[in-house]
Amino acid sequence: MQEKLWLHKNFLLLTFGNVTSKLGSKIYEVMLAWWLVEKTGSAKLFGMVTAAGLISVVVCNIFSGVIADRFNKKHILIISDLISAIVCIIVGLFVMNDVLHVPILVLAAILLGITNSLFTPTLKAILPSLIEKEMIVSANSITTVISQVVTVSAPLIAGMMIKGFSFGLGVAFLVNGITYFVSAISELCIKYCHKVEKTSKNIKFLTDIKEGYSYVKNQKWLLHLIYVSAVVNLFIAAYNTILPMYFLHSYSDDGSLYSYALGAEAVFAIIAGIVISKKKNDNPTPASLKKELIFCGVPIILLQLIQVSYISILLVGFFGYYLTKFNIYFFSIVQREVSKDKLGRVFSIIFMVALSIMPLGNLIFGLFSNQIISFVFIITGAGIIISTLLIKVNDLEDISIENDKGIVINDCKIPNNNGFKFPKNNR
């Protein structure tokens, strides 16, 4: 299956475009943070710019799913990348000509947040229309591996650009803009057949939004998974907030152990993606999700109980391994089981819930971090494990795909009259 994917032109073009723009964005984020802190001596301005982008993403996710479902997904990806490229290049030219004000950075963050809110659910929604259903899990795992490689390499590249070549923020914006432009060209070459329903012209925009929420509400299995993602993200936000403080308090860390732990988390995530991509006929089930979440929570609890530096680093790595497996299976199940004409709206709801919950976790656990540092990981680990109770296997056994009109792959239509059902004897 993995060999077929590497020969699949559409998948390669989509992945190349996504990874290219992601690399530019990660480099830009690192250089922006460094530049702002260096210029102001505080992280306050960086937090303000980041918050502006995050708020725009959350707000626009309300509408982005409808746009992804109603309009040509390929065109949305291209237009989103082109707008992002134009924004970055213009701001980059401003910076290089010493014309830079805080409102310009905030406006750029908002515009990039809007395009990202359109791009992300569309990217997830278009994949099942480009490849066969049995390739979805492998495709997600391969994409995850490459994304983690980008996550590890981008800060190194950014560091070289800052220290080795003394490049400033203007270059970071230009590089980001160029990668967005390359991504748009890659997506332009994708062969994608956009099918328009005859009734769609009479459907109002707000009606589409309500229909998306009604669909999620009526699909109990999907609603439970979104509940799970909300609870898990709350505790993961707490974990991410407290982790650097944990290494500082437990080992008087100067930042080196913490960086090793993050490196281990990324490496183990890459391993998880490779392991899943090598599996033949991998068919994730609700039982799979439960298992991965339980194994996510256990290492976090052990962090509090076994305070040995190298073991702590390994435990963070194992957390990254099982969280990556959960994410791959989670997205694969949604892409495989949700009706294609509603995938955009479903993913926009998922991302909106996740992005809305995480700041709450950051705030709550950040405020009380000093008081709960001695037992906070027991709370977060147990919280993740308990969240598995929200995954109700019985609801998922009766899943069947509503869209019986076939799977469109390139220009070919594959009959799909027998809806998939989760097997009762789960792995």
For every one of its 427 residues, what pLDDT tens digit does the chain have, with 9 covering 90 and above? 555 666 678 889 999 999 999 999 988 888 887 787 777 766 667 778 877 888 888 888 888 888 888 889 999 999 999 999 999 999 999 988 887 788 898 999 999 999 999 999 999 889 888 888 888 888 889 888 888 888 888 888 887 887 766 678 889 899 999 999 999 999 999 988 777 655 445 557 778 888 888 988 888 888 888 888 888 888 988 888 888 888 888 888 776 788 788 888 889 999 999 998 888 767 787 778 888 999 999 999 999 999 899 999 999 999 999 999 999 999 988 888 888 888 888 988 888 888 788 777 777 787 777 787 888 899 999 999 998 877 765 555 545 434 433 333 333 333 333 333 333 333 4
Please count the structural domains in the chain.
Answer: 2
Whether residues 390 and 269 share a domain: the answer is yes
Whether residues 353 and 420 share a domain: the answer is yes
Q: Among positive and negative, which fits the CA dihedral 398, 140, 63, 103?
A: positive
Over the stretch 373-388, which tens digit does the pLDDT of each residue have? 888 899 999 999 998 8
Whether residues 14 and 64 share a domain: the answer is yes
Residue 199 resides in a domain: no
pLDDT at 185: 96
pLDDT at 133: 81
Residue 370 resides in a domain: yes
CATH number at residue 140: 1.20.1250.20
Domain limits at 7? 1-191
Residue 139 resides in a domain: yes
Whether residues 315 and 167 share a domain: the answer is no
Residue 44 resides in a domain: yes
Residue 203 resides in a domain: no
pLDDT at 426: 37
* Domain end position, chosen among 156, 191, 226: 191
Residue 402 resides in a domain: no
Residue 183 resides in a domain: yes
Among residues 227, 231, 229, 224, the alpha carbon closest in space to that of 394 is found at 224
Whether residues 379 and 332 share a domain: the answer is yes
Whether residues 95 and 240 share a domain: the answer is no
Whether residues 83 and 224 share a domain: the answer is no
Whether residues 147 and 264 share a domain: the answer is no
Whether residues 283 and 421 share a domain: the answer is yes
pLDDT at 30: 81
Q: 413 φ, ψ to 5°?
A: -110, 125
Whether residues 293 and 427 share a domain: the answer is yes
Over the stretch 143-182, which tens digit does the pLDDT of each residue have? 888 888 888 888 888 878 877 666 788 898 999 999 999 9
pLDDT at 408: 34
Q: Quote the tokens at residue 98.
A: 């010493």
pLDDT at 404: 36
Distances (CA, A) of 255 to 39, 246, 258, 260, 306: 22, 11, 5, 9, 20
* Domain end position, chosen among 139, 158, 191: 191
- Three-class SS string for the chain? CHHHHHCCHHHHHHHHHHHHHHHHHHHHHHHHHHHHHHHHCCCHHHHHHHHHHHHHHHHHHHHHHHHHHHCCHHHHHHHHHHHHHHHHHHHHHHHHCCCCCHHHHHHHHHHHHHHHHHHHHHHHHHHHHHCCHHHHHHHHHHHHHHHHHHHHHHHHHHHHHHHHCCCCHHHHHHHHHHHHHHHHHHHHCCCCCCCCCHHHHHCCHHHHHHHHHHHHHHCHHHHHHHHHHHHHHHHHHHHHHHHHHHHHHHHCCCCHHHHHHHHHHHHHHHHHHHHHHHCCCCCCCHHHHHHHHHHHHHHHHHHHHCCCHHHHHHHHHHHHHHHHHHHHHHHHHHHHHCCHHHHHHHHHHHHHHHHHHHHHHHHHHHHCHHHHCCCHHHHHHHHHHHHHHHCCHHHHHCCCCCCCCCEEECCEEECCCCCCCCCCCCC
Whether residues 239 and 387 share a domain: the answer is yes
Whether residues 233 and 130 share a domain: the answer is no
Residue 10 resides in a domain: yes
* Domain end position, chosen among 191, 223, 251: 191
pLDDT at 203: 53
